[in-house]
C-alpha cells in the first residue's frame, strides 16, 4: 500500500526550490498524481499536500452543507481560499513560494512529514516541537508512541 510515511528535512536551494524525498515522489508516481493540491493546515503552521483527491474529500463534505452556512464558508475559506495547485519540476523539486513561506515561516530548510495519504511541509523546529507535544499528550494518555 502506498502511503506517505516518515519525515525528512531538505535544504532550499538558491532558486527557492526543495527536493521532495524520493519515497514521497515514489508514492505520487504510484498514485498517478501529477498535480499537487496544497492548502494551509487547519491547526498547524504547515502546508498539506496531496493529489486532487485531497481537495475532493473536502468538496464532498461541502456538498452535505448549506452553501451559505457559516461552516461551509469556513471550510471553503481554508480549502479553496487557502489552497493552490502546484507541480514538481523534472528533478522532483517543489518551489517554496510565498504561499508556503507566509503560512509556515519556512526559510532555509523544509521538513517533509508523511501523513498517510498526504504529506506536510513544516519549518523544521515547528515540526519537532509539534511532534514532541503530540508524544507528550499520548504518553499522558497511557499510549506509548515510541
Q: What is the mean pLDDT of the chain?
A: 95
Domain 7-140: give its CATH architecture: 3-Layer(aba) Sandwich (3.40)
Residues of the chain with pLDDT > 70, as a percent, come to 97
pLDDT in tens, 30-67: 999 999 999 999 999 999 999 999 999 999 999 999 99
Task: Please report the DSSP string for the chain in residue order.
Answer: ---B-SEEEEEB-TTSEEEPPHHHHHHHHHHT--SEEEEE-SSSS-EEEE-HHHHHHHHHHHHTS-TTSHHHHHHHHHHTTTEEEE---TTSEEE--HHHHHHH---SEEEEEE-BSSEEEE-HHHHHHHHHHHHHHHHHTT----
Amino acid at each position: 500500500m502506498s502511503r506517505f510515511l516518515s519525515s525528512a528535512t531538505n535544504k532550499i536551494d538558491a532558486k527557492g526550490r526543495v527536493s521532495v524525498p524520493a519515497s514521497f515522489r515514489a508514492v505520487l508516481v504510484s498514485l498517478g498524481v501529477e498535480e499537487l493540491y496544497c492548502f494551509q493546515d487547519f491547526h498547524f503552521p504547515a502546508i498539506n499536500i496531496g493529489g486532487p483527491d485531497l481537495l475532493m474529500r473536502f468538496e464532498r463534505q461541502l456538498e452535505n452543507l448549506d452553501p451559505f452556512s457559516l461552516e461551509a464558508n469556513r471550510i471553503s475559506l481554508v480549502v479553496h481560499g487557502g489552497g493552490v495547485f502546484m507541480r514538481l519540476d523534472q528533478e522532483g523539486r517543489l518551489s517554496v513560494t510565498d504561499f508556503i513561506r507566509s503560512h509556515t515561516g519556512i526559510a532555509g530548510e523544509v521538513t517533509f512529514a508523511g501523513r498517510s495519504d498526504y504529506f506536510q511541509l513544516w519549518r523544521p523546529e515547528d515540526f519537532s516541537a509539534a511532534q514532541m507535544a503530540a508524544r507528550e499528550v499520548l504518553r499522558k494518555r497511557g499510549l506509548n508512541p515510541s
